[in-house]
């Protein structure tokens, strides 16, 4: 079974094609999905919400995109057990849509950060991180102004207790609580992360730290399809 993935495209998305390239390199069949569509193509295994500056980051990053017609379909897809990956602005959109808890605020030192950063794999218990080693150090690029993860004390404690932090920054770069760079939903099928795995899947990118994320999700969903058949 080939992984069937949809990549959502908003006005202002700028990592949508990179995401499609990374997914196709992992063997996925990829369909681009326009934000005004009210439904997803039938039979998708994975929806990816890409990075960029959807709707110009007006009001709050991701706020307008989270109310776009297609997001209702993405929320329904996730609530029905579908897998969703949100990267950078996509992470902001998933939080604004209520699929992941907390908020992403302006970076603590106010700078837009565009750099490769060291990350720690905080859990391998997810289809996205299963091909990494626990605690493994990887490098992925970040490019954001609003990646400062904030949550109330109860939410933060629950994320830690339930092993739902997927990635942590090796050192503080943006003020994020507990150095959180990516988190999972309670059912571990929705991942939101600020670093860009799709920009690190080919040696010409300067690193391949993101390659196993796409390989992992493709293998996990192919196995699920085989077992379900």
211-228 vs 16-25: helix crossing angle, rounded to 10: 60
Does 102 sit near another protein (CB under 8 A)? Answer: yes
**Does the annotation mark 196 as catalytic?**
yes
Nearer to another protein, 116 or 175 (CB): 175
Tell me, rounded to whole angstroms, the distance of Cα 13 from its chain centroid. 14
Active-site pick, 83, 88, 144, 205: 88
Q: How far is the CB of 60 from another protein (least distance, A)?
A: 6
Nearer to another protein, 121 or 165 (CB): 165
CB 74 within 8 A of CB 9: no
What is the per-residue binding string for another protein in 174-203, x denoting contact by CB under 8 A? -x----------------------------
Size of the site for another protein (CB under 8 A): 19
Please enumerate in sequence order all residues whose Cβ is within 8 A of that of 126, keeping only pairs 6 or more positions apart, or say none: 166, 184, 188, 191
Q: How far is the CB of 108 from another protein (least distance, A)?
A: 5
Does 72 sit near another protein (CB under 8 A)? Answer: no
Tell me, rounded to whole angstroms, the distance of Cα 143 from its chain centroid. 14
CB 108 within 8 A of CB 161: no
Rounded Cα distance, 206 and 199, in Å: 9
**Does the annotation mark 120 as catalytic?**
no
Q: How far is the CB of 113 from another protein (least distance, A)?
A: 13
Among 109, 112, 160, 162, binds another protein (CB under 8 A): 109
**Does the annotation mark 222 as catalytic?**
no
Rounded Cα distance, 117 and 62, in Å: 23
Q: Sort strands 103-105 and 180-184 into parallel, antiparallel or unpaired.
A: unpaired
Does 148 sit near another protein (CB under 8 A)? Answer: yes
Active site residues: 88, 196, 198
């Amino acid at each position: 079974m080939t992984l069937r993935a949809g990549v959502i495209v908003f006005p202002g998305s700028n990592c949508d094609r990179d995401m499609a390239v990374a997914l196709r390199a992992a063997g996925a069949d990829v369909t681009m999905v326009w934000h005004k569509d009210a439904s997803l193509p039938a039979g998708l295994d994975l929806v990816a919400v890409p990075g960029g500056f959807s709707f110009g980051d007006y009001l709050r990053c991701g706020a307008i995109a989270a109310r776009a017609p297609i997001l209702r379909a993405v929320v329904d897809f996730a609530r029905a057990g579908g897998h969703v990956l949100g990267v950078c602005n996509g992470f902001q959109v998933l939080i604004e849509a209520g699929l992941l808890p907390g908020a992403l605020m302006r970076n603590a030192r106010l700078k837009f950060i565009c750099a490769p950063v060291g990350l720690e794999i905080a859990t391998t218990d997810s289809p996205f991180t299963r091909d990494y080693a626990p605690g493994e150090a990887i490098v992925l690029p970040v490019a954001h102004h609003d990646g400062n993860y904030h949550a109330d004390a109860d939410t933060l404690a629950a994320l830690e207790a339930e092993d739902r932090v997927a990635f942590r920054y090796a050192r503080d770069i943006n003020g994020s609580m507990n150095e959180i760079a990516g988190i999972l939903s309670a059912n571990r099928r929705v991942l939101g992360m600020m670093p860009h795995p799709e920009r690190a899947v080919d040696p010409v990118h300067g690193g391949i730290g993101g390659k196993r994320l796409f390989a992992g999700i493709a293998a996990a969903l192919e196995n699920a399809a085989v077992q379900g058949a």
